[in-house]
Amino acid sequence: MRPAVFLDRDDTLIECNGLPAPPPPARPGDLVDPAQVRLLPGVAPALSRLAHAGFALVVVSNQGVVARGGADVRRVEAVNDALRERLRDEGGPAIDAVYFCPFHPQGAVPEFTREHPWRKPSGGMLLAAAEDLGLDLAASWLIGDAQRDV
């Protein structure tokens, strides 16, 4: 089994706060436009060092914007694809997997309006990634920008 570094996406890998606010019902800090994806300084070389050290790189991100109706799942996937593209453009490594939670208990889209075991700080995305990728959670790390990430 391989260790991993689990990475929050927004304001850990890519800039979100400080961007123009998307139209409601999205909120400031929700990145719903793939054209706005910008890596934060140092992300590509840091991820390259982690990959070279043998860590799987797994993005885990709450995306309650889907439950609130500010974006659909395809839009979130397009932003994730843009993240991968920017990493490639800057010489960074491939991301092993991206998991995101579109659920939020205070949403407006019925199919996504509920609590879910993938929603951080719950560990559902980490457990799914460990099973899917054969990861050693005890030897893994999680990096995020907010207390709820851990």
List the catalytic residues: 8, 10
Give the H/E segment covering residue 7.
strand 4-7
Q: What's the token pair of residue 4?
A: 């991993």
CA dist 121 and 141 (Å) reads 14
CA dist 37 and 14 (Å) reads 6
Give the H/E segment covering residue 89.
helix 73-89
